[in-house]
Structures are given as structure tokens and as C-alpha cells.
Amino acid sequence: MSAPPTHSSSAPSERVSLYSTETHRLYDAYRNESCKYTRQYVDANKSEVVRDVAIPILSSVATGAAVGLVCGCPAGPPGMGIGAGIGAGVGFIIGSTISGALVYRDYHAWQKKHAGSELEEIVRFFFQEDSVLREFICPIAACIIKTPVMTDDGKYYEKEAITKWIKSEMKAGRDPTCPLTRKHLSLDMLHDAPEGAALICARLMRITHQESQLRGLDRRVVEGLKALYSDLKRFVDRQHDLSVRKTFTMKKQRKISEEQFSVEMARLHEVFYPSIA
């Protein structure tokens, strides 16, 4: 049996030191990642950044100087000079605040989109390695399927991607075919498949709720899987609720019997909340 921990005076300082080191490490990682996105944003949006910074500051400074100049008129030239200076300073502060808010708004939107795309790319590689999830990478857009549709031959696609594919083929005067099977495909052969999202959701729930499944995964992969699970869970819940309400309406209108209602409710639960290994 190991000896009980001693409560020496050095223990607290060691814990503080370790905590401080870990905190600095996490902060440095966050700062480096933030700086990376900041540099990328400025490089990709130089004209927008200059516009958002220059226009509010210059207009506010000019307006402030003009107002100060007018207010200082009764005191003659010295008063006009002092008034213009004070007005320009106040205008600079107001303009800087406005420009900072504009730049932050645009940068935050860009960062969210860029980081989201980068994160989805990382998660997509995880999907490719998983025996269940690899089926839910759209063969057209090469993205994770979030709004699944199924063709008559049982293939899953992202709804927007396969719809655009069929329309573009028709516009070009070609007969639309399934990219995987090369069989004829039309818009009326696509069927909403929320059960596909339910399968992804069930698999992600199993992965993200078991520590053994997450061990060894990159932090960003884990964050991406949990975010995707949260989004798909809301979609699946909405689709389940719509189907349940439709079934209740059919029962109320006596279009189905009590026994058929029970069978359909059990089927819906199995479809939307499947058990998966």
C-alpha cells in the first residue's frame, strides 16, 4: 500500500506551478490559433478591413472637428483651434469604437465560417475511417450529409448537392444519372431520408458519450463530432415530432386503427432513434 499523501508546505506551490504552466500552454495555443485566423482574415480581406477602419474614423474626425470649430467661433481663432482639436479627438474615439465593432463583426463571421469549414474537413476524415459513418459522405459534394435524401437504389446524398447535380445535367441537355450507379435519376426519384440523419446521430451519440471511444482523438475532432451530433439531434427530433403529429392526426381522423397506430409509433421510434453498434 502506498504511503498517504503528506501535507508539506511545498505541495501547494507545486500545484500552483503546474496549473500555471498548463494555463499558459493552453493560452499560447489559443493565442497562436487566433493569430493564425487574424492573419488569414487580413490577407484575404484587406480592402474590407481598410474600408471598415478608415471610413468611420475619418468621417467621425471630420464631423467632430467641424462641430468643434463652430462651437469655438465665439472665442475667435484660438477657440476655433481648440474646439476643432477637441472635436477631432472625440470624433477619433467614436470612430475607432465604430470601426472596431465593424471589423470585429466581419472578422467573427469570417472566422466562424472558416473555422467551421476547417473543422468539418477534420471530422470528414474521421467519417471516412468509420465503417458506419463513411456511407454518409456525399459522393458529389464530398461533405458530411446533414440533410439526407435517398435514391430509389438506396444511395444517400446531401439534398442540395444531388438536386443541383440533376438540374445542371438537365440544363446541359444530358440525361441525369446517379453518380455512383450510373442509372437514370430524376428529382421525383429522390426521397427525404431523415432516418439517415438518425443513423449518424445514433453512431455519434455512441462515440461522444463513451470515454473509451474518444480516447486518443484530436481535441478538434471531438469538438466537431459533438457539434455535429447536437445539430443533427435537433433535426432528427423535429422530424420525429412531425411524423408523430401526422400519425396522431391520422388516428384522430380514424384513418388508422388503434393497433395500426401502436405499430406506427413503434416503427417511428425505431427509425428515428435506432440502436447502433
pLDDT tens digits, residue range 11-24? 333 333 333 444 44
- Could you please state the CATH topology (level 3) that the domain comprising 133-272 is classified under: Herpes Virus-1 (3.30.40)
**Per-residue model confidence as pLDDT tens digits over 141-162:** 888 888 889 988 888 999 999 9
Q: From CA 190, how far away is CA 154, in angstroms rounded?
A: 10
Give the model's pLDDT for residue 30: 45
Q: From CA 101, how far away is CA 180, in angstroms rounded?
A: 48
- Whether the model clears a pTM of 0.85, i.e. scores above it, the answer is no
Give the model's pLDDT for residue 19: 37
- Half-sphere exposure in the Cβ direction for 158 (13 Å, CA): 14
Is the pLDDT reported for residue 67 higher than 50? yes
- Residue 151: CB partners within 8 Å, gap ≥ 6? 157, 162, 178, 185, 189, 190, 191
Provide the residue ranges of all domains of the chain, joining segments of one domain with +. Answer: 41-129, 133-272
User: Please, what is the average pLDDT of the chain?
Assistant: 79
Range of 19-28, 94-103, 110-119, 203-212 with top mean pLDDT: 94-103
Q: From CA 221, how far away is CA 148, in angstroms rounded?
A: 22
Share of the chain above pLDDT 70, in %: 81
Is the pLDDT reported for residue 244 higher than 90? yes
Share of the chain above pLDDT 90, in %: 16
Is the pLDDT reported for residue 249 higher than 90? yes
Between CA 91 and CA 100, with CA 96 as vertex, the angle to 5 degrees is 155
* 156, containing H or E segment: strand 156-158
- Half-sphere exposure in the Cβ direction for 102 (13 Å, CA): 16
Q: Which pLDDT band, with edges at 50, 70 and 90, does 167 fall under?
A: very high
Give the model's pLDDT for residue 16: 34
Give the model's pLDDT for residue 241: 93
Give the model's pLDDT for residue 21: 47
Q: Residue 154 CB: number of other CB atoms within 10 A?
A: 8
Give the model's pLDDT for residue 116: 60
Give the model's pLDDT for residue 111: 65
Is the pLDDT reported for residue 28 higher than 80? no
Give the model's pLDDT for residue 63: 92
Cα–Cα nearest to 234, from 204, 262, 207 = 204
Q: How confident is the model over 116-141, as a mean pLDDT?
A: 79
